[in-house]
C-alpha cells in the first residue's frame, strides 16, 4: 500500500446542498421491491443457473411476495431467452407480478428482448446506457450530446415496439431507464439525460403510468450520505416528479450498500433493486432480506414474507451454489447464538421480563412489544425457535434427506446434523452405486445414531437415571450469577455390563458427561444442543439433538451428533448424549468394572452400587449408596482392607434382609387389607396382622397413602416417632417377569435419644407390598421400643 494514497486516488466530490432534507426524514412505509437475483445476481455466478434453477428461484420470489422481478437479459443468451418464454408460456407469472427484462440501447437486442415477453400480462422494459465521464471518454468515446441522442433514439424505438407488442399480444408495458454509472455521472447531466428520455417516452403519467428512472450505484465509490445527496438532488431537479418512480440500485463495493439504500429512500427513492442475501457482482448487490427485516424491526410491514427464512435460504443457496455467511444479518447460522455467559444471562433475564410484560400488556389490551437484549428480532417471526440456533449450509441434497427423516421418523434435524448425515448417505450411494431408498436412509440413520431400540443400541445405553439439584453457594461477586448444581445418578449398560455412574454439572447433560469422564475415562463436551416436541397432549415426546466435541477444543473440526427421544425432556437429552458418545468412542477399550478383584480403599461408592445392580438389579438411591458404602468400608477394615464380590453381596443381604422370607425379622406383615376411607379424600386405612417381636398382633392405621397408614399402625405399638425421610421405587425385568423394587429410609426418635435412621429394601410383584415390606425391614433394624401397658408389661 502507498504511503500517500492521495497521489493515486481522488476523493469523491461532495454536493453542496445547504438545505438537504433527507437527514431529518424517517421511514414510514416500505419501498417498492425489485428482485434482480435472476439477472444481476445470475450474471455474477461462476456457474449461471439452469432454466430449472431459475424457475425454482422465481417461484420462491413469488412466494416471498416480490411483485417486480427482473428475470433476465434475454438477448444475452438462448438460455435466458428460453427461460423467459417458459415463464410466459407455462403461465408461471401471477397476474399481480411484473416481470422485468434488461437490454442495452441497441436495436437488435431491444427487439429480441421484447419478443421474449410477448404474451405476458405485465412487463417492464429496462434499457440502459452508460453516462459517466469514464465511460463516455474511455469506453465509448461519445460526447454528452451523442450519449443523450443514443438514449433518446432507442427510447423512441422501445415505445414503438412495445406499442406494437401490446396491440398484437395485449402485454402491458412500463418503461425503466438507467443512466448506468449514475453515481460517477455529473448530477446535472444525469438530470439532463433523464429529462430527454422522459420527453422521448412521452407517456409518463401519475399512478400506474409512472415511468421508472433507475439511479444505480453501479460501483460504490463514496459514502452513503453522498448517494443520498445525489438522489435528493435528482428528485429536486427532475420535472414532473409525480410521474416518475426513482429506483435505487446500490452495490456493496464499500460495504455500505444497505446504508446507501436506506439513506437513498429517505432522500426520495421509491423503489429498491437488489438480491436475496446480497448476491451480485464483486461484493454484491444490496440485500433485500436485510432491508426488509430492518423495516420489520421498526414496526413497518415490509410487504415481503420471510416467516420461513430457512426455506428461502435453502432455495437461494441451492440455486446460487453459494453459502450464506454464518454472521449474515438475520439469516446466518450464528446470529441468534449467544456464546458469552453474560450474553446468555442477559437473554435469559430478557425472556423472563418479556413474559411478564406480555402478560401485563395482554391484560390491558396493549401491544406486546419485543424488547430483548441482543435479539433485535423475535426468531419465531422467522420460523425459528428460542432453543435452536439457525444453522445454514449450502450442501446440495441435505434438505431432501432431512425431509424424509422428518416424514418417516418425525425428527426435525438441525442444519449441521443434516450436513453430517448427508455425508453418510452419500457414502452409501457411492458404495452401492444405486438409488438410495427411504428404507436405506432410515436404517442408516438408526445405525449411525444408535436410535430405535435394542437392535440399534450402542455400547452405552441408559437404563435409569435420577437428576437432583442443590443450590449453588452465594457468589462473592454479587454481579455474577451461578446456576444450581445438578447431580446425575444413573445406571448404564456398558458393553453388556450394568454400571452405576454418578456425576455433577450445571445441568443434566453436563452432569452425565462428568459421570462418563469419572467412571469411563470419556472426556467430551457439548458444542450444540437443540430440541423439539413430537406430537401433542398425552402422546407428546421430546426429541433432543446434541453435537459433542473433544473437551477443551471448541473449534474442533471433529464432532459427533446424537439423537434421543423420550417423554421426559431430560431423558431425551441424556439419550442424545449417549447416542453421540457411542459414535465418538467407536471400538475403543473402556475401563472395566473389576468385580472379582474386590473392594478396597481405592473403590468408590459407585463401584459398590454397580456390584449391587449387577447382582440383584437394584438401583440404589444416592443416599442409600452412601449409607451402604459406610457399611462396606467398616466390613473391609475388619477383614484386612478388602472385601470380595461374594462377601459384598452377602453383606448387603444380611444388612438389609434382602432376599430373605422375612420370618426372622423383628417386625413383618403376615396379611393386610388396604381400604379407602371417606369420600374422595384419598385417605387409606390398613387392617392387618403383623408379627411384632415374635407375637402376632392385629393392627389398624390411617394415612394419606399405604406407607403412612402402616406408620400409623406401627405407632400404636411403639414408643417414639417413626418417619419416612426418603422413598424411591423402580421396576426390575420386563413383561410378565417384572417386579417392583422399593426403597425406604426410615427415621426413629424416642424421648431424648438421638434420632436414628436405616434403609429398607424389598421387591414384590405388587408395588404396595414391596413398599410396605421395605418400610417394615427398616423398622426392624431400628430396634424400636415397644409401648408399655399400665402394669408395666410390653404392649
251-262 pLDDT tens trace? 999 999 999 999
Whose CA is closest to 648, among 677, 686, 708, 605? 605
Residue 375 is predicted with a pLDDT of: 86
Whose CA is closest to 232, among 14, 8, 503? 14
**Span 437-471, pLDDT tens digits:** 778 888 999 999 999 888 888 999 998 888 888 76
Residue 598 is predicted with a pLDDT of: 42
Q: What angle do CA 568, 570, 571 make, to 5 degrees?
A: 65
- Is the model's pLDDT at 630 over the cut of 80? yes
Residue 387 is predicted with a pLDDT of: 42
180: enclosing H helix or E strand: strand 172-180
Residue 312 is predicted with a pLDDT of: 96
> Which numeric CATH code is attached to 31-305+316-320?
3.20.20.70
Residue 299 is predicted with a pLDDT of: 95
State whether the Cα torsion 386-389-394-400 is positive or negative.
negative
Residue 70 is predicted with a pLDDT of: 98
Same fold, 31-305+316-320 and 341-449: no
Mean pLDDT to the nearest integer, 595-605:
51
CA–CA separation, 136 and 178 (whole Å)? 15
CA–CA separation, 531 and 633 (whole Å)? 43
- Which residues are within 8 A (CB) of 464 and not within 5 positions of it... i.e. 6 or more apart? 490, 491, 619, 730
- For domain 461-472+483-579, which architecture applies? 2-Layer Sandwich (3.30)
Q: At what angle do helices 257-266 and 224-237 cross, to 10 degrees?
A: 30
Q: CB of 412 within 8 A of CB of 406?
A: yes
Residue 161, Cβ neighbours under 10 Å: how many? Answer: 18
Whose CA is closest to 338, among 274, 284, 388, 402? 388
**Helical H runs in 180-243?**
187-201, 224-237
**Span 306-333, pLDDT tens digits:** 999 999 999 999 999 999 998 899 998 8
Q: Is the pTM of this model over 0.75?
A: no
One-character DSSP codes across 74-139:
TTT-HHHHHHHHHHHHTT-S-TT-EEEEEEES-HHHHHHHHHHHTT-SEEEEEEEEE-SHHIIIII
Residue 654, Cβ neighbours under 10 Å: how many? Answer: 11
CA–CA separation, 713 and 701 (whole Å)? 4
- Is the model's pLDDT at 347 over the cut of 70? no
**Span 725-784, pLDDT tens digits:** 999 999 888 777 889 999 999 999 988 888 899 999 999 998 989 999 999 999 988 888
- Is the model's pLDDT at 386 over the cut of 60? no
Q: What are the structural domain ranges in the chain? A: 31-305+316-320, 341-449, 461-472+483-579, 604-656, 662-780
**Span 637-663, pLDDT tens digits:** 766 667 777 788 888 998 998 987 766
Q: Tell me which fold the domain 341-449 belongs to.
A: Helix Hairpins (1.10.287)
Helix, strand, coil share of the chain (percent; to 5): 40, 25, 35
CA–CA separation, 776 and 769 (whole Å)? 10
Where on the phi/psi map is residue 65: left (φ > 0), alpha (ψ -120 to 50), or beta?
A: left
CA–CA separation, 102 and 105 (whole Å)? 10
CA–CA separation, 520 and 499 (whole Å)? 10
Put the strands of the sheet holding 560-566 in their side by side order.
524-534, 541-550, 560-566
Residue 591 is predicted with a pLDDT of: 79
**Helical H runs in 241-332?**
257-266, 288-296, 309-320
Whose CA is closest to 287, among 33, 23, 27? 33
CA–CA separation, 251 and 638 (whole Å)? 85
| Pairing of the two strands 244-250 and 541-550 | unpaired
Residue 790 is predicted with a pLDDT of: 45
Given this structure, which CATH class describes domain 662-780? alpha beta
712: enclosing H helix or E strand: helix 706-715
Q: CB of 531 within 8 A of CB of 600?
A: no
In this structure, the dihedral spanned by the alpha carbons of residues 91, 94, 98 and 100, taken in order and rounded to 10 degrees, is -40
Residue 600 is predicted with a pLDDT of: 47
Most confident of 179-188, 449-458, 602-611: 179-188
Of 416 and 500, more confident: 416
One-character DSSP codes across 528-585:
EEEEEEES-GGG-EEEEEEEEEETT-TT-S--EEEEEEESSHHHHHHHHHHHHHHHHH
Tell me the pLDDT of the chain averaged across its residues: 87
**Span 140-152, pLDDT tens digits:** 888 999 999 999 9
Q: How many angstroms from the chain centroid is the CA of residue 330? A: 14
Of 784 and 276, more confident: 276
Residue 60 is predicted with a pLDDT of: 98
Mean pLDDT to the nearest integer, 97-110:
97
525: enclosing H helix or E strand: strand 524-534
Residue 197 is predicted with a pLDDT of: 98
- Residue 259, CA distances (Å) to 227, 255, 383, 718 in order: 10, 9, 26, 84
Low-confidence winner among 167-181, 268-282, 662-676, 699-713 (lowest mean pLDDT): 662-676
- Which residues are within 8 A (CB) of 750 and not within 5 positions of it... i.e. 6 or more apart? 718, 719, 720, 721, 784, 785
Residue 712, Cβ neighbours under 10 Å: how many? Answer: 18
Amino acid at each position: 500500500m502507498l504511503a500517500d494514497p492521495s497521489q493515486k486516488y481522488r476523493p469523491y466530490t461532495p454536493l453542496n446542498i445547504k438545505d438537504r432534507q433527507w437527514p431529518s426524514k424517517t421511514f414510514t412505509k416500505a419501498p417498492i421491491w425489485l428482485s434482480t437475483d435472476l439477472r444481476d445476481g445470475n450474471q455474477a455466478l461462476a456457474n449461471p443457473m439452469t432454466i430449472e434453477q431459475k424457475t425454482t428461484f422465481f417461484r420462491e420470489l413469488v412466494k416471498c411476495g416480490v411483485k417486480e422481478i427482473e428475470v433476465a437479459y434475454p438477448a444475452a443468451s438462448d438460455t435466458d431467452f428460453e427461460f423467459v418464454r417458459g415463464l410466459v408460456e407455462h403461465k408461471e407469472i401471477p397476474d399481480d407480478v411484473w416481470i422485468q427484462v434488461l437490454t442495452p440501447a441497441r436495436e437488435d437486442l431491444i427487439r429480441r428482448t421484447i419478443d421474449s415477453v410477448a404474451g405476458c400480462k405485465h412487463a417492464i422494459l429496462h434499457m440502459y446506457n452508460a453516462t459517466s465521464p469514464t465511460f463516455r471518454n474511455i469506453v465509448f468515446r461519445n460526447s454528452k450530446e451523442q450519449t443523450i441522442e443514443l438514449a433518446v433514439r432507442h427510447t423512441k424505438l422501445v415505445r414503438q415496439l412495445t406499442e406494437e407488442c401490446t396491440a398484437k399480444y395485449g402485454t402491458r408495458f412500463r418503461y425503466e431507464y438507467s443512466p448506468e454509472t449514475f453515481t460517477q455521472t455529473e448530477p446535472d447531466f444525469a438530470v439532463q439525460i433523464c429529462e430527454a428520455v422522459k420527453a422521448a417516452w412521452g407517456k409518463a403519467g401519475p399512478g400506474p403510468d409512472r415511468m421508472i428512472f433507475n439511479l444505480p450505484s453501479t460501483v460504490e465509490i463514496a459514502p452513503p450520505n453522498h448517494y443520498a445527496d445525489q438522489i435528493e438532488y435528482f428528485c429536486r431537479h427532475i420535472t414532473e416528479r409525480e410521474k416518475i418512480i426513482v429506483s435505487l440500485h446500490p452495490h456493496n463495493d464499500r460495504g455500505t450498500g444497505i446504508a446507501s439504500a436506506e439513506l437513498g429512500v429517505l432522500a426520495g427513492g421509491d423503489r429498491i433493486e437488489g438480491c436475496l442475501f446480497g448476491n451480485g457482482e464483486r461484493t454484491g448487490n444490496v440485500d433485500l432480506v436485510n432491508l426488509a427485516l430492518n423495516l420489520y424491526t421498526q414496526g413497518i410491514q415490509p410487504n415481503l414474507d420471510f416467516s420461513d427464512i430457512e426455506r428461502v435460504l435453502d432455495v437461494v443457496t441451492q440455486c446460487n451454489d453459494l453459502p450464506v455467511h454464518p454472521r449474515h444479518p438475520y439469516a446466518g447460522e450464528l446470529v441468534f447464538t449467544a456464546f458469552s455467559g453474560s450474553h446468555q444471562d442477559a437473554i435469559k433475564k430478557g425472556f423472563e421480563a418479556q413474559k411478564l410484560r406480555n402478560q401485563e400488556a395482554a391484560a390491558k389490551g396493549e401491544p406486546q412489544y419485543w424488547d430483548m437484549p441482543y435479539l433485535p428480532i423475535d426468531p419465531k417471526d422467522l420460523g425459528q425457535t428460542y432453543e435452536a440456533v439457525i444453522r445454514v449450509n449450502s450442501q446440495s441434497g441435505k434438505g431432501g434427506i432431512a425431509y424424509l427423516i422428518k416424514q418417516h421418523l418425525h425428527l426435525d434435524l438441525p442444519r449441521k446434523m443434516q450436513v453430517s448425515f448427508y455425508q453418510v448417505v452419500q457414502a452409501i450411494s457411492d458404495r452401492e452405486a444405486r438409488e438410495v431408498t427411504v428404507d436405506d436412509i432410515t436404517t442408516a440413520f438408526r445405525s449411525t445414531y444408535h436410535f430405535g431400540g435394542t437392535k440399534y443400541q450402542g455400547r452405552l445405553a441408559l437404563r435409569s437415571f435420577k437428576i437432583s439439584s442443590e443450590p449453588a453457594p452465594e457468589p462473592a461477586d454479587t454481579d455474577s450469577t451461578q446456576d444450581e448444581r445438578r447431580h446425575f445418578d444413573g445406571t448404564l449398560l456398558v458393553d453388556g455390563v450394568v454400571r452405576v455412574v454418578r456425576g455433577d454439572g450445571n445441568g443434566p447433560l453436563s452432569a452425565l458427561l462428568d459421570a462418563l469422564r469419572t467412571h469411563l475415562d470419556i472426556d467430551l463436551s457439548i458444542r450444540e444442543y437443540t430440541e423439539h416436541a413430537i406430537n401433542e397432549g398425552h402422546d407428546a415426546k421430546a426429541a433432543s439433538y446434541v453435537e459433542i466435541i473433544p473437551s477443551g477444543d471448541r473449534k474442533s473440526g471433529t464432532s459427533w451428533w446424537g439423537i434421543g427421544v423420550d417423554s421426559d425432556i431430560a431423558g431425551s437429552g441424556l439419550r442424545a448424549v449417549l447416542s453421540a458418545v457411542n459414535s465418538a468412542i467407536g471400538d475403543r477399550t473402556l475401563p472395566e468394572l473389576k468385580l472379582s478383584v474386590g473392594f478396597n480403599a481405592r473403590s468408590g461408592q459407585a463401584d459398590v452400587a454397580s456390584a449391587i445392580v449387577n447382582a440383584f438389579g437394584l438401583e440404589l438411591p444416592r443416599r442409600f449408596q452412601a449409607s451402604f458404602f459406610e457399611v462396606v468400608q467398616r466390613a473391609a477394615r475388619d477383614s484386612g482392607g478388602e472385601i470380595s464380590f461374594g462377601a459384598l453381596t452377602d453383606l448387603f443381604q444380611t444388612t438389609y434382609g434382602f432376599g430373605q422370607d422375612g420370618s426372622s425379622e423383628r417386625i413383618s406383615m403376615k396379611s393386610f387389607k388396604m381400604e379407602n376411607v371417606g369420600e374422595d379424600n384419598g385417605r387409606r386405612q390398613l387392617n392387618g396382622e403383623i408379627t411384632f417381636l415374635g407375637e402376632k398382633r392385629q393392627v389398624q392405621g390411617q394415612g394419606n397413602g399405604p406407607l403412612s397408614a402402616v406408620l400409623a399402625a406401627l405407632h400404636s405399638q411403639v414408643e417414639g416417632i417413626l418417619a419416612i425421610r426418603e422413598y424411591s421405587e423402580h421396576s426390575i425385568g420386563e413383561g410378565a417377569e417384572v417386579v417392583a423394587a422399593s426403597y425406604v429410609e426410615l427415621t426413629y426418635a424416642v424421648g431424648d435419644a438421638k434420632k436414628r435412621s436405616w434403609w429398607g429394601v424389598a421387591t414384590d410383584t405388587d408395588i404396595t407390598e414391596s413398599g410396605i415390606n421395605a418400610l417394615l425391614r427398616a423398622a426392624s433394624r431400628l430396634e424400636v421400643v415397644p409401648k408399655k401397658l399400665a402394669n408395666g408389661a410390653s404392649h
